[in-house]
Structure 1
Amino acid sequence: MMYEFLINNRTNLAARCREKVALRPGRMASKLQLQNGVPMLLDQLIRTLAAENTSQSIVAFGISGPENGDLAFSEIAISAVEHARELLVLGFSVKQVVHDYGDLCQSITDLAIERKITFTIHEFRTLSRCLENATADAVTEFSYQRDLIEANKVTKENNDRLRHFVHELRNLLGTTSLAFTAAKSSRLNLSGSTGVILEKSILNLGRLIDSSVDDINEIVRQKIVLNTFPISSFIAEVLSSAELSYENIKCELRLMPVDPDLATSGNRSLLLIALVRILQNAVKFTQPNNHVVLAVYASGDQIQIDVKDNCSDVDTQEVDSTHSQSTQIDRDRIGSSLILAIAKQSVVSYGGSLSIQNQSEIGWVVKISIPRRPVVN
């Protein structure tokens, strides 16, 4: 079994990956710097296989992500995002990001051939899923952070050019004022009414330049401060609002870890109302003693918000056994659809998107995508 093979050879596989990294040109990083890379992925792969061996597919997907490549919160996604950030800080390219995860696949394959060990098709699929999801999440985050750095660089260069332009313009204005003063002192025609108007215009132009620079800086500062907010504090407010407005909660609202470096911008109140309604709706249809999961994670220039309910305990035969009960369920479902439709309008007005996925025998997942912005310090 691949599970036993990985446990018995974990140290060997990690060493082989480090050797491959060391042979790569320009690759010098400590184990601590790359702790979110191959070693953590190897542990997550082992835990995924262990969960699948005990038929705990939900736990396995929570560790390694879905099979179909859809966006979803997972442990592998979180560690891959951190790994990508570390590589970017160290100055590596996106090609080296891909190679890091390819090293693990190659090391597993080489060692298995040496030991004459074979794996099942299902185990290979699990390995492939883990590596593909890790690579996709790492590359997406790496590209976003790299583009963000380039965009900030361009913005800074533009601002520096603008400040230089204003400075030069002010110098020219000073020269013009001195020339006018000299002309006026020589009793040229400029000392008449035309000259007075010209003098006032020059002075007013100087005041306009000074005030416009201050105004532009203030507008930019206010726009950034007012419209951008961290997701972590926003989600905490959402949970508080949802719990206070929904009485007799019989299920658990479970929040997955939220990256403190995630932020968005826009109408905070509009997004708050939409997400609270979605949570209330999920709580309503989740059976007692189960849980509703709220997961927030990055995906390139977007932030994904997943709300997962748990309706797997519903007995459809029992629901259909009485007409009155079935009618009540239908009414509730119609109300649920209306709530989600209203929430979707709010999310779209905010500048995001909303979709719903049906997880067979588990429940529903409402997926929200909103723009991602850099954190304002």
Structure 2
Amino acid sequence: MMHAFLTANRAELIARCRAKVAQRAPPGAPAEELANGVTIFLDQLIKTLVVEQTEAPMQSYKVSGPSGGGKPALSEMSESATRHGKELQEHGFTVEEVVHDYGDLCQSISDLAFETSMEIQIEEFRTLNRCLDNAIASAVTEFGYQRDSIIADKQAVALNERLGFFAHELRNQLCTATLALAVIKQGNVGLNGATGGVLDRALVGLANLIDRSLAEVRISAGLQVQHRLFSLADFIAEVKLSATLEAQVKGCTLTVSHVDPLLAVDADRDLLLSAIGNLLQNAFKYTHPNSEVTLNAYAQADRILIDVQDHCGGLPPGLAEEMFTPFTQGAENRSGLGLGLSISRRSVEANNGVLSVRDVPGSGCVFTIDLPRHFMTAAG
């Protein structure tokens, strides 16, 4: 009888399973067997086999559940397997390990039966397979539920953090603009003075914050990218109009190169505008006072390149790629959300382009948007 074989070799089977699990266990996983693991399942399997030899074999379903599964609450095995799935998730195992964890016992039973010339009846194998099927289904279901809950919690925390930063920045800019406007309305200062400059900076900051947030929402929501062909020269001229004011507010010079009027871009104009706006805002923020920020747009082979170069002094070692990570800021000026460059890269990639950064030691850095090259038609 299989139940007698399992009972007599219980310790050996558990030891073999532990050895297999230890080989696959992730770093930091507990060395001892989990509370609802192989030992519980093996005891329930033995109990099921014993009941099936009685005059009421169907009572075994209370232990192991019927073929094809069923509600976890209807069997002892499903309940313990559910708890085991949760344990495996908490200890860093993968969903594949959940399946392997039960498969180890099946393999160990088969190996030991072969080694000892123990003959297992077909019906007993069917019982073993039924128990494995129900246990694995319950464990995997719970594992997935726990994993999804953890992911949802992390996403909620990240969203709340992002909204908190956004609200903080929005409040700061709005309070600054409101205070500056109140002082100007008293009639003691004019719009062209220092207070007017404060108001300008606050309004520009609000516009940038809102534009950046709208671009992030579009990308995160997976909204369809609206590609259309438009003149690169006209596009850069539009960027120059808005960026010139920000350059004045920041106390630096913006230099924009001449753009070949025949060049065109096939992209989502709003997303690309947001990407370049974020790059320029970043450049104005970190470039040294009274220095120059340069915007160049030109063709190279089958590509169109748009460079934004500043004079920030250069990048610290290893910071180049980190700068594109959300909530990362690479200088003493910690104002802002640290999202601009991340949104810029995602906006460019949504337009089939590439955004990269090149360090110019001792001078600054150059951010480059690389897009497919197109030409304006005669009618365009």
TM-score range, shorter chain: 0.3 to 0.5
The answer to which structure, 1 or 2, has the higher relative contact order (CA under 8 A, 6+ apart) is 1
With the length of structure 1 as denominator, give the TM-score of the two structures: 0.48
